[in-house]
Amino acid sequence: MIEFFAGADVALRRLAFALGGLLLGLLVERLVISRAKALAARTRLKWDDLIVESARGVPTVLLTSAGVYFALAVGTLDPVLSNTMMSVLTVVIIGAVAVALMRAAGGAVEMISETSDGAIKSPTLVVNLARVAVGMLGVFIILQNLGIDITPLITALGIGGLAVALALQDTLGNLFAGVQIILSKQVRPRDYIRLDTGEEGWVSDVKGRNTTIHTFPDGNMVVLPNSRLASSVVKNYTRPRKAMWVTLAVGVSYDSDLEFVEGVALEVARQALSEVEGGVTGGEPVVRYHSFGGSSIDFDLRIPVREFESQAPVRHELIKRLHRRFNEEGIEIPFPIRTIIQHGS
């Protein structure tokens, strides 16, 4: 009977330590982490938010593990079971820290990209690679702490990796192409690109296998394999600068005073640039006569706009204003005329 009560007392103390660690962890999570999260949200810095968010759940795991550790020290326990439980605790503790570091690594990559590239989120591929690298490091640390020699494992991974590479050539080709796209920095999220195959749109994300593009103006999604993007001729309308030129082809009558036409066109273009959303304020338009057409003298009116999607509204407004002003000034935009000479049979 005495042994029974003694055994029950040991079991209760072990349970008390384990539950105490769990409750203490939940209390710390609720009081400390929650308040730290609220305080971090009030600051302008984002790094403190990242640290608090990365630590979410870790105190509960660590304190619960500490409770279990102290519970194992109560009374006598079978050595095999004790060693097994200690190994499990090692895996849990290192795993919890590794998960927190994976969150921090992914968030850090995103924040650094936002700081260096005008609030543009880093591609998913980069974030995932950072997390996987930290996760793999955590796995190696766990294996080393468990007394497992990782040298044969690395050798086996190398041999197995060769077989996997041969079986997944297309997938790995797209993965390395995605890495190449990101490292080259020639195509990034929020760039407007056009491929030589005709696809065009805003780059929304670069993932491990493909790049997603949203077309303009309908917003449909185009999924493009990374290898195809890397091997295509790409015209980037966003780099090295977003501002671009809009060219409007115009023809006037052969009877027109070309100096007067040029002055009117430039005046209308300057006014449009200063008043229409998307025009470059203070930008200088350009008029260039280039050919004697079949029924008109043709010229290009070129004006600078802020970015790719500004082209349509600026061109729309410019055509209306130019047409109205030409009518007021008596400048004729002739209809195309074709003379057909028919010889008698």
Residues 161 and 253 in one domain: no
Residues 67 and 124 in one domain: yes
Dihedral of the CA atoms 30, 24, 54, 143 (nearest 10)?
A: -160
Contact of 248 with 315, CB cutoff 8 Å: yes
Per the structure, the complete domain to which residue 120 belongs is given by 2-167
Q: Domain total for the chain?
A: 3
CA distance 134 to 128: 10
What pLDDT score was predicted for residue 159? 58
What pLDDT score was predicted for residue 299? 92
Last-in-domain residue among 179, 212, 236: 236
Residues 145 and 66 in one domain: yes
Q: Is residue 206 a part of any domain in this protein?
A: yes
What pLDDT score was predicted for residue 283? 78
Q: How far is CA 184 from CA 83, 122, 188, 237, 257, in A?
A: 50, 14, 9, 16, 51
Percentages of the chain per state (helix, strand, coil), in multiples of 5: 60, 15, 25
Q: Is residue 183 a part of any domain in this protein?
A: no
Last-in-domain residue among 218, 236, 254: 236
Residues 69 and 159 in one domain: yes
Phi, psi of 231 (to 5 degrees): -100, 0
Residues 295 and 223 in one domain: no
Q: What is the DSSP string of 225-249?
A: EHHHHHHS-EEESSSS-S-EEEEEE
What pLDDT score was predicted for residue 15? 80
Residues 162 and 21 in one domain: yes
Q: Is residue 276 a part of any domain in this protein?
A: yes
Q: What is the pTM of this model?
A: 0.53
Residues 83 and 161 in one domain: yes
Residues 126 and 214 in one domain: no
Q: Is residue 39 a part of any domain in this protein?
A: yes
Q: What is the pLDDT of residues 64-90, one digit of tens each?
A: 888 888 877 776 767 777 778 888 888
Residues 18 and 79 in one domain: yes
Q: Is residue 231 a part of any domain in this protein?
A: yes
Residue 7 burial by Cβ neighbours in a 10 Å radius (0-12, 13-18, 19+): exposed
Q: Is residue 288 a part of any domain in this protein?
A: yes
Q: How far is CA 123 from CA 53, 66, 92, 97, 147, in A?
A: 21, 38, 30, 25, 37
The CATH number of residue 318's host domain is 3.30.70.100
Q: Is residue 341 a part of any domain in this protein?
A: no
Residues 43 and 118 in one domain: yes
CA distance 193 to 202: 7
Residues 19 and 130 in one domain: yes
Residues 87 and 163 in one domain: yes
What are the residue ranges in the chain where pLDDT is below 50?
A: 1-6, 118-120
